[in-house]
Structure 1
Amino acid sequence: MKRTIKHICLAEDDPDDFYIFSNLLHEVDSSVKLTWFQTCEDLLRYLKNGSDLPCLIVLDMNMPKMDGQTCLVTLKKEITLRHIPVIILSTAFKPGAIDLAIEAGANKYYQKPYSPKEFKTIISEILAMPVAEQ
């Protein structure tokens, strides 16, 4: 059964990219809650707490300490978290990396766009994704 995305967790180490994503998300749908993490470790700690799980996770691949691929694999190994769709939004756009992310369980892989218009289009696509009931 499809439901509306109400809460997104964003793992993004760059404050400028967070700011852009946050502002454009607010323009597309101001009702969506956005929780931001600058490291994958912080994201995983939050998710394992389990008190306010998101409908969707948006993950950058180029992260400090634990990279996005390792974070994705870790998420998909956790039985209580594997149902949460993961979208990759990254400057890393090599075919091998994309294939690895999809094989590891990413639902979609987007290259970070250069224009606000393209970024808004990606955010609209993300919000239109079907999300299963938990």
Structure 2
Amino acid sequence: MSDHTILLIEDNPDDAELTRIAFAEAAIDSQLVVVGDGAEALDYLFAQGKYAARDAADLPSIVLLDLNLPKLDGREVLQALRANPATRGLPVVVLTTSTEPFDVEASYALGVNSYIRKPVDFKKFVEVVKQIGLYWLVLNHPRG
């Protein structure tokens, strides 16, 4: 088992499965946890609801966040993470199909660490996932 957990917040099951396959093909040694909406993401991160038995101090190494989510959208999730001292420094990467300037600006204003557009081509997507894993799980030295 890996020391790294990646939380993927993605409501599209096909995109979640493609991300899972891409991580496997990129040979990134990590545990991928997938949640399907913004409310479930916050429950997971703050160990609430069905995740109440989870240790809230055991945070993922990185969060991959889609913006367009049911219940709470990605911006609301990001705002909640940055407002809480326990998750304020958690690396969050927006991984989305949106190239809208508003989405990019709003995400950075709310404290996202990186904004990456999902390539449509699967081979390119695998390469993007490989680069995300290399940077955030190997090269980057997180706080504390």
- The verdict on a shared fold, with TM-score over 0.5 as the criterion, is yes
Is 1:16 matched up with 2:14?
yes
Q: 1:74 aligns with which of 68, 80, 95?
A: 80
- Aligned twin of 1:114: 120
Q: 1:29 aligns with which of 27, 30, 45?
A: 27
Q: Which amino acid counterpart does residue 9 of structure 2 have in structure 1?
A: A
Cα 1:46/1:104, change in 2 over 3 Å: same
Q: Which amino acid counterpart does residue 93 of structure 1 have in structure 2?
A: T
CA shift digits 1:29-54 (9 cap, x unpaired): 25210000001111111111215310
CA shift digits 1:15-38 (9 cap, x unpaired): 000000001101112521000000
Q: Runs (4+) of structure 1 moved beyond 3 Å?
A: none
Q: Secondary structure at the match of 2:46?
A: helix
Contact 1:5–1:131 under 8 Å retained in 2: no
- Aligned twin of 2:96: 90
Larger mean CA deviation between 53-62 and 21-30 belongs to 21-30
Q: Which amino acid counterpart does residue 88 of structure 1 have in structure 2?
A: V
CA distance in 1, matches of 2:43, 2:37: 10
Report percent identity of matched pairs. Answer: 29
Q: Which amino acid counterpart does residue 38 of structure 1 have in structure 2?
A: G
Q: Could you tell me the TM-score, scaled by structure 2's length?
A: 0.84
Q: How many residues are matched?
A: 131
- For structure 1, the residue ranges without an aligned partner over 5 or more in a row are none
CA distance in 1, matches of 2:88, 2:122: 31
CA distance in 2, matches of 1:82, 1:53: 11
Q: 1:62 aligns with which of 55, 64, 68?
A: 68
Q: Which amino acid counterpart does residue 132 of structure 1 have in structure 2?
A: P
CA shift digits 1:89-114 (9 cap, x unpaired): 11222012101101211111111211
Larger mean CA deviation between 77-86 and 25-34 belongs to 25-34
